[in-house]
Amino acid sequence: MTKKIKVALIGPVPPPAGGIASWTLRMLSSDIAAKDIDFIHIDESVSAGREIFGLEAKRSLPKELARCRRIWNDLENAIINESAELVHANIPAAPLSMLRELICAMIANRHNIPFVIHFRCTVPVYASNPIALFLLKSLLVRSSAVVVLNEASKVFVEKMTDTPVYLIPNFISSEELALAVKSAHSYNGSLSKVLYTGGIIESKGAYDILEIAKAMPEIEFRLAGKGGFPVDAVIPKNIRILGQLSRESICAEYKEADAFIFLSRFRGEGFSNSLAEAMAFALPCIVSDWAANADMINPNGGIVVDYRNINSVVQSLKYLNSPNHRREMGRANQKKVMELYSEDVVMYQYLKLYRLLSGK
């Protein structure tokens, strides 16, 4: 019987909600992973009171220093006292995040165990200045493997290093996928409910929905997530702001929606969990050409639009007024999730990588 691989997994968990935190929770909760992997969680959650989006996202230097010391101490403990055989760290390629993980890499190097750096973003968007590029190269030198979320990141990083680079997408848990598959859409009638989930901030494309809603008063646009519109924003009557919902309520929204809209150009975007969830629920998707969006819904799961051209978004939504178009796109999306983004498919890729690096 093959022994479990002990992996020190560095990543945040909710609260607050966020893409990396959601992914970390899925990894730690995976029954498939539990058969072969013993995760030792190094909690990298942001300081108390800090949020992912909005004004509350600002850092407090003393709190951040204390957070870093805690992470480094916990990692040392995981290696020395819990016999971690491999370290898997998860960050956006922001300078401060890379500096913190560079110390984590040095700790792993000192103990002669493999270090995997997992960039939770589109790397060239973040690593766009000399300081960021210097830190990126320094981190790559000390890493045994690099994991990225989209093709743009893979191409960019491979040009900078001889360290192996792996494109491994986020995944939908087996439980979530089973629920989504059971929730069959009828696709009957006209397009009436369009859903967005994520931070309600400008860079996630949420503000664009205001203008789209004004041009399409016959459609109800439902926005779920933290954040909100500027105080002086004129909010059309066909906009419904739902706030941050429970997992059960989010699933209910996916089941009731006719389509999903995601016009993000968020710097930290790599592979959208929200978009993958919408695809799992067999929703046709209107997306910006950003991060992994186009790769995810292509070739026939939706429409890629220029978010700056509101008219092109409106015309794309009108195209989805056809039940046949929605049915074809929705079913293609669900099929793609089952084949490429399901828990069993993606966890096998992690297990294969862990075994390669640990020699097990």
Over residues 29-56, the pLDDT tens digits come to 999 999 999 999 999 987 554 455 554 4
- CA torsion through residues 351, 356, 357, 360, sign: positive
Contact yes or no for 242/221 (Cβ under 8 A) = no
pTM recorded for the entire structure: 0.93
Question: How many Å apart are CA 348 and CA 356, to the nearest integer?
Answer: 12
In this prediction, residue 145 carries a pLDDT of: 98
Tokens 């690096």 identify what position? Answer: 357
pLDDT tens per residue across span 286-338:
999 999 999 999 889 999 999 889 999 999 999 999 999 999 999 999 999 99
Q: Classify residue 116 as left (phi > 0), alpha (psi -120 to 50) or beta.
A: beta
Confidence at 225, pLDDT banded by 50, 70, 90: very high
The answer on pLDDT for 87 being more than 80 is yes
Q: Among 3.30.70.260, 3.40.50.2300, 3.40.50.2000, 2.130.10.10, name the CATH number for the domain at 5-171+343-358.
A: 3.40.50.2000
In this prediction, residue 55 carries a pLDDT of: 46
Confidence at 26, pLDDT banded by 50, 70, 90: very high
Q: Among 1.10.260.40, 3.30.70.20, 3.40.50.2000, 3.30.70.520, name the CATH number for the domain at 174-340.
A: 3.40.50.2000
State the amino acid at position 43 in one-letter form: D
What percent of the chain stands above pLDDT 70?
95
The answer on pLDDT for 271 being more than 90 is yes
Query: Between 95-110 and 130-141, two packed helices, what is the crossing angle to 10 degrees?
Result: 20
pLDDT tens per residue across span 132-150:
999 999 999 999 999 999 9
The answer on pLDDT for 1 being more than 90 is no
In this prediction, residue 52 carries a pLDDT of: 53
Q: In what order do the strands lie in the sheet with 259-262?
A: 239-243, 220-224, 193-197, 259-262, 285-288, 302-305
| Mean confidence (pLDDT) of the chain | 93
Which residues have CB under 8 Å from 252's CB, separation 6+?
none
Burial class (CB in 10 A: 0-12, 13-18, 19+), 187: buried
Domain boundaries, the chain: 5-171+343-358, 174-340
E strand or H helix at 131: helix 130-141
Distances in whole angstroms, Cα of residue 317 to Cα of each of 39, 153, 209, 305: 43, 30, 12, 10
In this prediction, residue 108 carries a pLDDT of: 98
User: What is the number of H-type helices and E-type strands within the chain?
Assistant: 15, 12
Contact yes or no for 50/58 (Cβ under 8 A) = yes
Confidence at 63, pLDDT banded by 50, 70, 90: confident
- Classified as helix, coil or strand, 188 is coil
Tokens for 40?
A: 């030792």
Nearest to 263 by CA among 201, 348, 173: 201
